[in-house]
Structure 1
Amino acid sequence: MGRAVVPEDGAGAGDRGAVPEDAVGAVTRQVLDGLRATGDDRLRELLTALVRHLHGFARETRLTQGEWERAIGFLTATGQACTDTRQEFVMLSDVLGLSMLVETLHEHGAPGATESTVLGPFHMTASPPRALGATIDLVGGGEPCVVSGRIRSADGTPLPGAVLDVWQADGHGFYDVQRPDVQPPGNGRGLFTADGEGRFRFRTCVPSAYPVPTDGPVGALLHATGRHPYRPPHIHFIATAEGHAPLTTHIFVAGGAYLDSDVVYAVKDSLVRDFTPTDDPSLAREYGVANPFRHARFDLVLEREAGEGT
Structure 2
Amino acid sequence: MNHMHIARKLISREGDVTPVVLEAMANTSDPRLKQVMTSLVSHLHQFVLEARLTEEEFEFGLRWIAALGHHTNESNNEVVLAADVIGVSTLIDLINNNGMQGETMSALLGPFYRGHAPHCVSGECIARSETPGAGLVFTGRVIGAQGYPVEGAVLDVWQASPVGLYENQDESQGDFNLRGKFTTDADGCFHFVSVKPAGYPVPTDGPVGDLLRAQQRAPMRPAHIHFIVYAPGHKTLVTQIFADSQDALLADVVFGAKQQIVGDFVRHDRPDVEFPGMKAPFYTCRYDFKLVAGTPSYPIPPISGKKA
SS of structure 2 residue aligned to 1:46: helix
* Matching of residues 180-259 of structure 1 within 5 Å: 181-255=171-245, 258-259=248-249
Equivalent of 2:123 in 126, 130, 133 = 133
- 1:229-283: CA deviations, max 9, x gaps? 0000000001011111000111111437611110000111111122101234312
SS of structure 2 residue aligned to 1:196: coil
SS of structure 2 residue aligned to 1:45: helix
- 1:126-165: CA deviations, max 9, x gaps? 2111111111112221110111100011110110100100
How much has 1:47 moved relative to structure 2? 0.9
* Matching of residues 125-164 of structure 1 within 5 Å: 125-138=115-128, 139-164=130-155
The runs of 5 or more residues in structure 1 that have no matched partner are 1-20
Residues in 1 aligned to 2:107 and 2:190: alpha-carbon distance in whole angstroms: 20
Residues in 1 aligned to 2:19 and 2:83: alpha-carbon distance in whole angstroms: 29
SS of structure 2 residue aligned to 1:113: coil
Aligned to 1:176: 167
Aligned to 2:4: none
1:303 and 2:292 matched: yes
Residues in 1 aligned to 2:123 and 2:180: alpha-carbon distance in whole angstroms: 11
* Matching of residues 3-18 of structure 1 within 5 Å: none
SS of structure 2 residue aligned to 1:282: coil
Q: 1:125 to 1:161 in 2, by over 3 A?
A: closer
Aligned to 2:280: 291
Aligned to 1:84: 74
SS of structure 2 residue aligned to 1:273: coil
Taking structure 1 as the reference length, the TM-score comes to: 0.88
Residues in 2 aligned to 1:125 and 1:170: alpha-carbon distance in whole angstroms: 17
User: Contact 2:138 / 2:285 at 8 angstroms: preserved in 1?
Assistant: yes
- 1:168-213: CA deviations, max 9, x gaps? 001101001101x211110110111111111010100000010000
How much has 1:303 moved relative to structure 2? 1.0
- RMSD value over aligned CA atoms? 1.5
Q: Percent identity?
A: 41
Residues in 1 aligned to 2:203 and 2:132: alpha-carbon distance in whole angstroms: 21
1:28 and 2:32 matched: no
| Aligned AA (1:224) | A
Taking structure 2 as the reference length, the TM-score comes to: 0.89
1:53 and 2:79 matched: no
| Aligned AA (2:147) | G
User: Contact 2:222 / 2:244 at 8 angstroms: preserved in 1?
Assistant: no
- Structure 1 stretch displaced more, 208-217 or 28-37: 28-37
Residues in 2 aligned to 1:108 and 1:141: alpha-carbon distance in whole angstroms: 36
1:282 and 2:273 matched: yes
The runs of 5 or more residues in structure 2 that have no matched partner are 1-10, 296-308
Residues in 2 aligned to 1:42 and 1:116: alpha-carbon distance in whole angstroms: 25
How much has 1:125 moved relative to structure 2? 3.8
| Aligned AA (1:304) | A
User: Contact 2:89 / 2:108 at 8 angstroms: preserved in 1?
Assistant: yes
User: Contact 2:98 / 2:105 at 8 angstroms: preserved in 1?
Assistant: no
Aligned residues: 283
